[in-house]
Amino acid sequence: MLGQAYDGRALINGSRVHAQDGQTFDCISPVDGRLLTTVARCGQADVDAAVAAGRAAFEDRRWCGLAPAARKRVMVKFADQLLAHADELAMMETLDMGKPIRYARSVDVNSAANCLRWYGEAVDKIYDEIAPTASTALALIQREPVGVVGVIVPWNYPMIMAAWKIAPALAAGNSVVLKPSEKSPLTALRLAELALEAGIPPGVFNVVPGYGAEAGSPLALHMDVDCIAFTGSTRVGKQIHVMAGQSNLKRAWTELGGKSPNIVFADCPDLDKAVEAAVGSIFFNQGESCNAPSRLFVEASIRDQFLEKVLALVPGYAPANPLAPDTVMGAIVDQTQMNSVLRYIALGKQEGAALLAGGEQALLDTGGCYVQPTIFAGVTPGMTIAREEIFGPVLSVLSFTDTSDVLRQANQSIYGLQAAVWTRDINKAHGVARALRAGTVHVNQYDEDDITVPFGGYKQSGVGRDKSLHAFDKYTETKTTWIRIDSPV
């Protein structure tokens, strides 16, 4: 499908609509700089319309009033719709944000579909509770949908980030207003069309593309939104909590940045596997992953040997055309993000880190946004590239002497999303895993991932968890109903 055919209008109350003031913004592909389409630049009036549609749907119970088994059937159909349109969605995602088509197809589409299916399948298998009170009363503890859920997502995994929130929110019976990133709005709009085709009633799932300040803030500040679920930067995440407090104290959940430490001890059971994971995980998705292990800590005694193996793998990640089937490293999402990555690389050099590979923009003649896979060694904890999230293909390698030294360095971060430890010593593995302040700790691997496990961070990596049954907590209220029992006996 040609990019020009993409429909960039919002989807509100079951219909594709222009922004009420007719404003649009350009959707440019980072693959080659071409204009893909123009997209509705939604603002307050459009957000108001979408929230009103969501509220009306919630009030007349067209969705939340269905039996869980009925919602399940629709959610499963929604998942099937994604798979039936997998090639189209993968192409759209790749053109819009630059990731290799092989991963857009095998990871993003499949993972989003699996998430929709899993929450759909779960919702008719969850029971409410009866509290163990005295026999003169019956106390029912029931889950109810919160109402209208605002969802704001970033651009790095547009479909997956949206699915992690809309799947549990919709399955639980809520209405949703989704604001995708202005850098990658297209698949969210298409998902909402597929949801309608699957049988999600009009008004239940609305999408308002636009800029953060113009469409995101009105959603976070809206007096008729009951919950805001946000994934993005820590900077904006903090504002989301403020906006929730300034308005109606809506429930606010945030999945934010990371600077994950990856710790390799000299007794690592398989150095080659550790090297592959260290390199593959930082360069996957062009380094634009919140959980990318961007700080690699190598025990001093194996540092040189490890670095040699790392450098040998780097050429295999040279950026290439994201539409080519064997490409593993694609384009950075846009010029602004590419310039930000290049600025961090310049800072790394200025502050005295040793640039061992990459460091430059690549494929300039394409008109797209590409950066070479970049490795810095000799990084110390105070350097900017060791502290701040770069969100690009840049690995900072640090060194340590013993366990207490590395724990001190690893936990010296405002973030606490993920971490990894490589050792054959089971005591050390458990001890370090316990001491690391992170939502997820990997032991002797970095790629395990499943919808059944919670995902989220400690510290300034956010509040709340996506994925797993725990995610339902975010989109449901707990209601207690006391019933007095005047026992005849």
Q: What is the largest CA-CA distance in the chain?
A: 87
Which one of the listed residues 182, 255, 288, 389 is annotated catalytic? 255
- 255 in active site: yes
State yes or no: residue 227 binds ligand NAD (CB under 6 A).
Answer: no
Q: Does the annotation mark 290 as catalytic?
A: yes
Quote the tokens at residue 413.
């971060």
CA angle 415, 280, 278 (to 5 degrees): 55
Among positions 250-269, residues that touch ligand NAD (CB under 6 A) are 255-258
Q: Which is nearer to ligand NAD, 112 or 313 (CB)?
A: 112
Minimum CB separation from ligand NAD for residue 80, in Å? 26
Query: What is the sign, positive or negative, of the torsion defined by CA atoms of 77, 83, 89, 93?
Result: positive
Please count the other Cβ atoms lying within 10 Å of the Cβ belonging to residue 425. Answer: 14
Binding characters for ligand NAD, 115-154, by CB under 6 A (x = yes): -------------------------------------xxx
CA distance 307 to 313: 10
Helix (H, G, I), strand (E, B) or coil at 342: helix
Give dist(CA 365, CA 36) in Å, integer.
Answer: 19
- Closest approach, Cβ 179 to ligand NAD, in A, equals 6
Contact status: 161 vs ligand NAD (CB under 6 A): yes
Site string for ligand NAD, 382-401 (x = CB under 6 A): -------x-x----------
> Contact with ligand NAD (CB under 6 A): which of 14, 173, 462, 464?
462
The packing angle between helices 86-97 and 186-198, to 10°, is 160
- Piece of the chain touching ligand NAD by CB under 6 A; list 43-51, 94-102, 179-187, 430-438: 179-187
Read off φ and ψ for residue 53, nearest 5 degrees: -65, -45
Which residues lie across from 39 on neighbouring strands? 25
Q: Could you say which of 13, 38, 233, 444 contacts ligand NAD (CB under 6 A)?
A: 233
- Interface with ligand NAD includes 181 (CB under 6 A)? yes
**98 near ligand NAD (CB under 6 A):** no
Determine if 290 is a binding residue for ligand NAD (CB under 6 A): yes
46 binds ligand NAD (CB under 6 A): no
Exposed (0-12), middle (13-18) or buried (19+): which is 130, by Cβ within 10 Å? exposed
Taking alpha carbons only, the member of 187, 160, 188 closest to residue 93 is: 187
Choosing from 42, 64, 227, 290, the catalytic residue is 290
Task: Indicate the pairing of strand 227-231 with strand 129-130.
Answer: unpaired
Q: Which chain residues interact with ligand NAD by CB under 6 A?
A: 152-156, 161, 179, 181-182, 211-213, 216-217, 220, 231-233, 236, 239, 255-258, 290, 389, 391, 417, 457, 461-462
Active site amino acids: 255, 290
